């Protein structure tokens, strides 16, 4: 589904990603972990097409299509979804209007007829229930005045509505208490299917107790320095990221 | 040129002063049968206008707005009579019916003093309406005054008087149709005790949205009595050169005003909004929110002055002017001003100038919404804060069309 080869990317002229290789097959869940500043969010931004992240080298193929030349909205319509670490507040644009426009943009791209207001509302209510959010949330402006937990659940709600093929979760667990974390995990697990892949970016292991990954990768200084099974996440939780820095320091001294 | 007035006269624009003097003489001779006070008011106004001429950019109040495009031509008076409208009496009818009442009403209007455009309106005063809302009346549907645009080379001087009697409530819409000429409106408003008025000034003609026309100058004054409420909505999407002056006097305790505005610039248009709120007595509130959206090479000006006089304790005043600049060459000059002479008051003011929030645009795009639509959504969201607060029954269709023109320019 996703094939990343030798990906280099920079933000504001500063190189952040320095050669990422990663393959995700349909149905697989991959976790990317790493210390702050290792390039985790830049990877998410490079995949979703944030204009401030510039891909300088390498290739990204999504279902065989070159992603690097695609506008962000086209990537979204093709089935890539980024759950933001910091969802943006947009006062003045209603959640309802936004989500309907978004769902219908994706449907149109897939050759499906648009949902009318009634059908959309029915669908939205079903998904709202999954993330334990009140219906009145639809009448509020996008994320405006939402608590941290509500913002993250709103991200998962959007993911449930758009039914993407590749879900990228950028530190979705940050700032969540344990109850909110569980609710988010319920929403994410509802989307698990043999043809849907996920890339979960996180600093901590605890989200991975609820969403169990097939593979875990450790990112350091823009490169994947170690890959392994789900037990790697637990190991990292126990040992911390200190060994990476030591490794980097000894590498530099050689 | 006398030394005293040297700063007030722009030598470039004196060429047409004789034209206006002659035009006024002709106008006055046709109306020699009018009441003496009216004849006198016109004569004094043209004399004063001929002394001071059109304002130059050396005047602080006109620093950013060059009226040369208006002042360079000898504009011909477009004469005509305002049609009778339900709830509004034409001035010509009021002159015939009760000239003494009208004289008393005009006596309460603030003098035009050194305001050149208001003086010109005085000098050619004939056309317009007097809206009187009787005591405790609740006028449901808006009273809609539509003023046709002036043709090329023409000038109109409409005058609107609005009186809302104690306990009454009304909405008045003054719609200025576009035209390549000059529309020079003067409005005077009295909101009596416990009365409430929503005044909408609509400068949103469709042709103008394409940037074809015209000049619009408005000078409005409002006085609000005890526990009265005045809300204004100034919506500007048309006109190549627009200048609006709005002065509000909170004259008695408990008076409240809310001044709201939305101005949209595209092409190379200029929109200048000046306002002044005078807190003359204690326990009055004023809220001011003007939002500007400027694309292309358009220019916006905002001047808001709030004066809190020494006696006006417990004043609560806010003033805000956020602006969105969409064009590389677009420009805004904004200056909220507070002058406070009382010590127990709550006042705040602020202005911001920003571009579209690109993080928000990316957020929308990352959900499949196209870049043009995402930008349009953001611009609409910015405007909606003003449009959503319009009084009931006031269609903002015309404004929506103006928005469309700005959107097309901003997203193309």
Evaluate whether residue B229 is within a structural domain. Answer: yes
Token couple for B54: 């059109």
DSSP, res A138: G
What does the pLDDT read at residue B12?
Answer: 53
Q: Do B377 and A98 touch (CB under 8 A)?
A: yes
Asked if residue A138 is part of any domain, the answer here is: no
Q: How confident is the model at residue B31 (pLDDT cuts 50, 70, 90)?
A: very high
- CA of B385: which chain A residue's CA is closest? A92
Summarised one tens digit per residue, pLDDT across range B230-256 is 999 999 988 899 999 999 999 999 999
- A-interface mutation test, from B363, B367, B371, B403, most A Cβ less than 10 A away: B367
ipTM for the complex shown: 0.95
Q: pLDDT confidence of A137, banded at 50, 70, 90?
A: confident
> Stretch A15-42: mean pLDDT, rounded?
95
The residue in chain B having the minimum alpha-carbon distance to the alpha carbon of residue A163 is B367
Asked if the structure places residue A44 within a domain, the reply is: yes
Average pLDDT over residues B69-93: 90
Contact call for B381 and A92, based on CB within 8 A: yes
pLDDT at residue B404, rounded to an integer: 77
B4 pLDDT more than 70:
no
Nearest residue of B to residue A157, measured between CA atoms: B367
Distance CA B169, CA B112 (A): 28
pLDDT above 50 (res B211): no
**pLDDT at residue A249, as a whole number:** 67
Pick from A88, A101, A106: which is nearest to B359 by CB?
A: A88
Q: Tell me if B145 sits within 8 A of B170, measured CB to CB.
A: no
Which two tokens mark B181? 């000429």
How many domains does chain A fold into? 1
Banded model confidence at residue B412, pLDDT cuts 50, 70, 90: low
Q: What is the mean predicted confidence (pLDDT) over B373-387?
A: 91
CA–CA separation, A206 and A173 (whole Å): 8
What would the mean pLDDT of A108-130 be, rounded to a whole number? Answer: 95
Q: Which domain holds residue B260?
A: 58-411
Mutate to test the interface with A, among B289, B291, B358, B368 (most CBs of A within 10 A): B368
Task: Name which of A150-159, B224-233, B274-283 the model is least confident about.
Answer: A150-159
| Minimum distance, in Å, between the CA of residue A78 and any CA atom of chain B | 9
Banded pLDDT at B1 (limits 50, 70, 90): very low
pLDDT at position B82 is: 86
**Residues 6 or more apart whose Cβ sits within 8 Å of residue A48:** A72, A75, A76, A80, A82, A168, B366
- B51 part of a folded domain: no
Q: What is the mean pLDDT of residues A124-140?
A: 91
pLDDT digits (tens, 9 = 90+) for B121-164: 999 999 999 999 999 999 989 999 999 888 889 999 999 999 99
- The mean pLDDT value for B262-281 works out to 95
Q: Between B384 and B275, where is the model more confident?
A: B275
What's the pLDDT score for residue B9?
Answer: 46
Give the helix/strand (H/E) hosting A40.
Answer: helix A40-48
Contact A162 B385 (CB under 8 A): no
Question: In this structure, what CATH number is given to the domain that contains residue A25?
Answer: 3.40.50.300
**Structural domain includes residue A145:** no
Contact residues on chain B for A72, CB-CB shorter than 8 A: 362, 365-366
Q: List, for residues A102-118, the tens digit of each pLDDT value.
A: 999 999 999 999 999 99
- Cβ atoms of residues B386 and B323 within 8 Å: no
In the predicted structure, residue B213 carries a pLDDT above the cut 70: no
In-domain check, residue A38: yes
pLDDT score, position A244: 76
Model confidence at A253, pLDDT cuts 50, 70, 90, reads very low
Mean pLDDT value across chain A = 92
Alpha-carbon distance A63 to A65, whole Å?
Answer: 6
CB A156 within 8 A of CB A99: no
Chain A with chain B: Cβ pairs closer than 8 A: 73
Tokens of A169: 């979760």
Cβ-nearest to B367 among A51, A76, A141: A76
Residues B381, A93: C-beta atoms closer than 8 Å: yes
pLDDT (tens digit per residue) in B322-365? 999 998 899 999 999 999 999 999 999 999 999 999 999 999 99
The residues in B 359-378 lying below 8 A from A, measured between CB atoms, are: 359-360, 362-371, 373-374, 377-378
Distance, CA of A101 to CA of A120 (rounded, Å)? 10
Does some domain include residue B47?
A: no
Residues 6+ positions from A72 with CB-CB distance below 8 Å: A48, A49, A50, A51, B362, B365, B366
Number of domains forming the structure of chain B: 1
Which pLDDT does position A174 carry in this prediction?
Answer: 87
Instruction: Report the pLDDT averaged over residues A214-218.
Output: 95
Give the residue on B whose Cα is nearest the Cα of A50: B362
pLDDT band at A65 (very low <50, low <70, confident <90, very high): very high
Asked if the C-beta of A112 comes within 8 angstroms of chain B's C-beta atoms, the answer is: no
pLDDT value at A218 more than 60: yes
List, as ranges, residues 78-107 from A with C-beta within 8 Å of B.
81-82, 84, 87-88, 90-93, 98, 101-102, 105-106
Pick the residue from chain B with its C-alpha nearest to A109.
B368
% of chain A surpassing 70 pLDDT: 97
- Per-residue confidence at B206, pLDDT binned at 50, 70, 90? low
Residue B324 lies in a domain: yes
Inter-chain contact B370–A73, Cβ cutoff 8 Å? yes
Closest CA to A66 of A49, A82, A88, A83: A49
Provide the residue range defining the domain that includes A12: 2-90+164-253
- Could you say which of B366, B377, B382 has the minimum Cβ distance to residue A76? B366
> What is the β-pairing status of strands A215-220 and A223-228?
antiparallel
CA–CA gap between residue B84 and residue A23 (Å, rounded): 77
Of B368, B380, B381, the CB nearest to A102: B368
pLDDT bin (cut points 50, 70, 90) of residue B214 is confident
What residue has token string 């620093």? Answer: B63
| Predicted confidence band of residue A234 (pLDDT cuts 50, 70, 90) | confident
- Rounded average pLDDT over A64-91: 95
pLDDT (average), residues A86-99: 92
In angstroms and rounded to an integer, the radius of gyration of the C-alpha atoms of chain B is: 21
Q: Which residues are CB-neighbours of B29 under 8 A, at least 6 positions away? A: none
For residues A227-234, give the mean pLDDT.
91
């Amino acid at each position: 589904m996703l094939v990343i080869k030798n990906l280099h990317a920079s933000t504001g002229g500063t190189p952040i990603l320095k050669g990422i290789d990663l393959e995700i097959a349909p149905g697989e869940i991959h976790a990317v972990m790493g210390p702050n500043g290792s390039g985790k969010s830049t990877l998410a931004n490079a995949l979703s097409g944030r204009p401030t992240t510039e891909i300088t080298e390498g290739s990204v193929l999504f279902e065989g299509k070159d992603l690097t030349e695609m506008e962000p909205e086209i990537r979204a319509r093709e089935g890539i979804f980024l759950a933001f670490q910091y969802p943006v507040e947009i006062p003045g644009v209603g959640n309802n209007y936004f989500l309907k426009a978004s769902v219908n943009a994706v449907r149109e791209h897939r050759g499906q007829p648009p949902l009318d207001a009634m059908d959309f509302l029915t669908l939205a209510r079903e998904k709202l229930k999954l993330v334990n959010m009140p219906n009145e949330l639809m009448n509020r402006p996008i994320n405006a005045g939402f608590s941290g937990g509500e913002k993250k659940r709103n991200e998962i709600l959007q993911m449930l509505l758009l039914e993407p093929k590749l879900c990228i979760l950028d530190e979705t667990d940050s700032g969540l208490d344990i109850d909110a974390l569980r609710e988010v995990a319920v929403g994410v697990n509802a989307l698990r299917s043999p043809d849907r892949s996920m890339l979960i970016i996180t600093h901590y292991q605890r989200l991975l107790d609820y969403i169990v990954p097939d593979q875990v990768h450790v990112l350091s200084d823009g490169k994947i320095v170690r890959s392994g099974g789900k037990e790697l996440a637990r190991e990292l939780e126990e040992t911390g990221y200190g060994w990476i820095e030591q490794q980097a320091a000894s590498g530099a001294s050689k | 040129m006398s030394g005293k007035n040297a700063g007030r006269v722009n030598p470039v624009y004196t060429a047409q002063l004789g034209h206006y003097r002659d035009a006024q003489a002709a106008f006055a001779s046709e109306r020699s049968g009018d009441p003496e006070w009216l004849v006198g008011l016109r004569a004094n106004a043209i004399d004063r206008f001929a002394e001071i001429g059109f304002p130059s950019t050396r005047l602080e109040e006109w620093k950013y707005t060059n009226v040369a495009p208006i002042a360079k031509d000898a504009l011909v008076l477009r004469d005509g009579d305002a049609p009778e409208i339900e709830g509004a009496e034409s001035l010509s009818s009021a002159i015939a019916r009760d000239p003494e009442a009208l004289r008393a009403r005009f006596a309460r209007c603030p003098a035009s003093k050194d305001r050149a455009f208001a003086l010109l309106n005085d000098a050619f005063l004939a056309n317009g309406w007097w809206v009187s809302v009787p005591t405790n009346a609740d006028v449901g549907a808006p009273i809609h005054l539509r003023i046709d645009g002036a043709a090329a080379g023409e000038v109109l001087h409409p005058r609107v008087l609005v009186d809302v009697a104690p306990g009454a409530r009304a909405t008045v819409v003054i719609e200025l149709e576009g035209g390549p000429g000059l529309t020079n409106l003067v409005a005077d408003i009295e909101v009596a005790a416990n009365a409430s008025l929503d005044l909408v000034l609509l400068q949103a003609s469709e042709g103008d949205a394409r940037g074809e026309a015209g000049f619009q100058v408005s000078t409005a004054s409002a006085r609000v009595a005890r526990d009265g409420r005045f809300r204004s909505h100034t919506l500007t999407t048309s006109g190549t050169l627009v200048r609006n002056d709005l002065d509000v006097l909170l004259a008695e305790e408990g008076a409240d005003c809310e001044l709201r505005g939305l101005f949209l610039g595209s092409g190379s248009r200029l929109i200048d909004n000046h306002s002044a709120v005078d807190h003359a007595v204690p326990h009055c509130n004023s809220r001011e929110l003007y939002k500007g959206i400027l694309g292309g090479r358009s220019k916006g000006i905002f001047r808001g002055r709030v004066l809190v006089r020494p006696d006006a304790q417990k004043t609560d005043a806010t003033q805000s002017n956020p602006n969105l600049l969409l064009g590389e060459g677009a420009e805004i000059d904004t200056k909220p001003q507070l002058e406070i002479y009382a010590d127990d008051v709550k006042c705040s003011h602020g202005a911001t100038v920003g571009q579209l929030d690109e993080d928000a645009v990316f957020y929308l795009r990352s959900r499949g919404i196209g870049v043009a639509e995402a930008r349009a959504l953001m611009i609409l969201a910015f405007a909606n804060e003003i449009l959503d607060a319009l009084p009931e029954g006031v269609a903002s269709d015309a404004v929506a069309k103006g928005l469309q023109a700005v959107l097309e320019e901003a997203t193309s």
